[in-house]
């Protein structure tokens, strides 16, 4: 309510996949879901948009320790792409009637195959649309979805693809998505240092990806 009164219009609501869905492809935990619903309701009542965001870095932990999460769909992982699709099928169905909710597909995928993540995102947005949900869906890239590194291949664990390469042909059946990009202005783009590197740090970081977005007529958030 405080920030809404200051003119803020959108609020991220991070949650942990494991707490919402303690068993893969199982029912949502009723108490945790109620907490998520309450947060969304408070934001909407204040006139804002609620961005629900599984804060899992493209992982799910089956050990009870979040730090031990396994990468979705990776070789040897017990967490499948179908598991992730099930999460979003349930979430999208649950919030489909609330047009003040925005779906952020995943917070900051990293240290994985960029091609794999792009494939997961493409199949998952189709799953979301198959529920009838029409909300804006935010799609992150690999490499902590950094805007500055969107056109670089180093985040790819296979060393082959940039996000720009992997998402060049991305489509949304609902035609209502944007690429979610994060950008900090300190020396290593982590947001953990007090000082910005220069007065032009933001422009410098966003130039290459902005050109890519314009060339492909893609929106970003």
Buried b (16+ CB within 10 A) or exposed e, 119-155: ebbbebbebbbebebebbbbbbbbbbbbbbbbeebeb
β-pairing, 70-71 with 59-60?
A: antiparallel
Average pLDDT value for residue range 194-213: 86
Residue 49 confidence (pLDDT): 98
pLDDT band at 184 (very low <50, low <70, confident <90, very high): confident
For residue 86, CA distances in Å to 28, 66, 130 come to: 11, 20, 12
> In whole angstroms, what is the distance from residue 27 CA to residue 116 CA?
26
Give the tens place of pLDDT for each residue, 111-127: 999 999 999 999 999 99
pTM, two decimals, is: 0.95
* Greatest pairwise CA separation for the chain in angstroms: 49
Answer yes or no: is pLDDT of 186 > 80.
no
169 contacts 121 by C-beta, under 8 angstroms: no
Alpha helices per DSSP H over 57-200:
81-95, 114-130, 163-166
Q: Rounded to 5 degrees, what are φ and ψ at 152?
A: -110, 150
Residue 195 confidence (pLDDT): 84
pLDDT band at 108 (very low <50, low <70, confident <90, very high): very high
Give the tens place of pLDDT for each residue, 30-84: 999 999 999 999 999 999 999 999 999 999 998 877 778 999 999 999 999 999 9
């Amino acid at each position: 309510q405080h920030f809404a009164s200051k003119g803020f219009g959108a609020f991220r609501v991070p949650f942990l996949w494991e707490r919402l869905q303690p068993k893969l492809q199982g029912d949502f935990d009723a108490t945790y879901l109620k907490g998520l619903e309450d947060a969304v309701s408070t934001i909407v009542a204040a006139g804002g948009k609620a961005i629900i965001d599984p804060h899992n870095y493209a992982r799910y932990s089956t050990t009870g320790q979040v730090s031990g999460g396994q990468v979705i769909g990776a070789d040897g992982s017990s967490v499948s792409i179908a598991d992730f699709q099930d999460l979003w099928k349930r979430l999208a169905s649950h919030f489909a009637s609330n047009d003040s909710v925005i779906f952020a597909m995943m917070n900051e995928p990293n240290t994985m195959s960029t091609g794999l993540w792009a494939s997961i995102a493409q199949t998952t947005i189709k799953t979301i649309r198959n529920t009838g949900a029409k909300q804006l869906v935010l799609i992150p890239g690999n490499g902590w979805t950094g805007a500055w590194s969107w056109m670089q291949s180093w985040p790819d664990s296979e060393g082959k693809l940039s996000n720009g390469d992997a998402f060049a042909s991305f489509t949304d059946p609902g035609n209502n998505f944007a690429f979610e990009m994060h950008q900090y202005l300190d020396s290593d783009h982590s947001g953990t240092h007090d000082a910005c590197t220069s007065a032009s740090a933001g422009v410098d970081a966003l130039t290459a990806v902005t050109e890519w977005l314009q060339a492909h007529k893609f929106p970003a958030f």
